[in-house]
Amino acid sequence: MDQQNSRSFIGIPGAIIVAAAIIAVAIIWTQQKPSVVPAADSGSAAHTLPQISMKPVSAGDHIYGNPNAPVKIVEYSDPSCPFCKMFNPVMEDIMSQYGPSGQVAWIYRQFPLDKPDPNGNVLHPLSGTQAEGFECAASLGGNDAFWKYEKAWFDAFPDNGADEATSLDQSQMSTVAKSAGLDQNAFDSCVASAKFQNAIEAQYTDGINAGVSGTPFIVVLTPSGSKIPLSGAQSFATMKTTIDTLLSAGTSTAQ
């Protein structure tokens, strides 16, 4: 996970699977007692789910899939983040499995790490401009163009892309826009205008309110309305376990 303090990590697979089990317990428990989760290990003290304050999902969001899906996955992402690039195919696989049936929706929100940390260091100085590219794609081609651009961007973005030169970055953005079927001149003009700077800043602030300190940061919205935070590039197994447990619990509750 890319963090504001310039440290990055990703958990080992075993730890991720344990985390998924804890999430499953939390999901079942919250059907009866929201916000209180029994500890996974017997004899340990009980934990409280963090209170997450975030903007509700609305038509103004970038939504992939059914807007009324029982499970919604909100991802706060940075276009320069290598772990976001790593997580992207996981979400593509999730949507391939659960999207056609309308069970899961993927919501993308901007969290560019282009702000100075307490030491004055900026982790991803180009990510704000890159986020403008995402928003310009949406403004020029609608929701479908946004997701085409998002996929093309992470497919093309190199692992060391956060360190590339500004001129290379802008050229790559234009090339990605063309591959997504957008008019390059209109796209370049849109990015240069920085017209979405305030909108991106609003999404970033929403992420701060949700407790985001690094990317990717995922908030799973459950059928019952609970919010489950997952920090870092999760595996497909973790996401699938979480989703299947939620859907099963929702079906049981509805019966």
7-58 pLDDT per residue, tens: 434 444 444 444 454 454 444 434 433 322 222 222 333 345 567 899 999 9
pTM, entire model: 0.82
CB-based contact 112:200 (threshold 8 Å): yes
192 in any annotated domain: yes
C-alpha 93/C-alpha 137 separation (Å) is 23
40 in any annotated domain: no
pLDDT given for residue 11 in this prediction: 44
CB-based contact 84:216 (threshold 8 Å): yes
89 in any annotated domain: yes
C-alpha 151/C-alpha 77 separation (Å) is 13
Is the pLDDT at 70 greater than 50? The verdict is: yes
Residue 127, classed as helix, strand or coil, is: helix
Which of 45, 25, 74 is CA-nearest to residue 209? Answer: 74
Residue 227, classed as helix, strand or coil, is: strand
Task: Check which CATH number belongs to the domain holding 65 and give it.
Answer: 3.40.30.10
pLDDT given for residue 50 in this prediction: 62
32 in any annotated domain: no
71 in any annotated domain: yes
- Per the structure, the count of domains in the chain is 1
92-142 pLDDT, tens digit per residue, is 999 999 999 999 999 999 999 999 988 999 999 999 999 999 999 999 999
Neighbours of 115 (CB within 10 A): 15
Helix ranges (DSSP H) in 41-81: none
C-alpha 32/C-alpha 193 separation (Å) is 50
199 in any annotated domain: yes
8 in any annotated domain: no
Is the pLDDT at 168 greater than 70? The verdict is: no
The residue written with tokens 């973790």 in the block is 238
136 in any annotated domain: yes
Which of 115, 138, 139, 142 is CA-nearest to residue 126? Answer: 115
208: containing domain: 54-232
Residue 231, classed as helix, strand or coil, is: strand
Strand duo 217-221 + 71-77: pairing: antiparallel
C-alpha 26/C-alpha 200 separation (Å) is 32
Q: What percent of the chain has pLDDT over 70?
A: 76
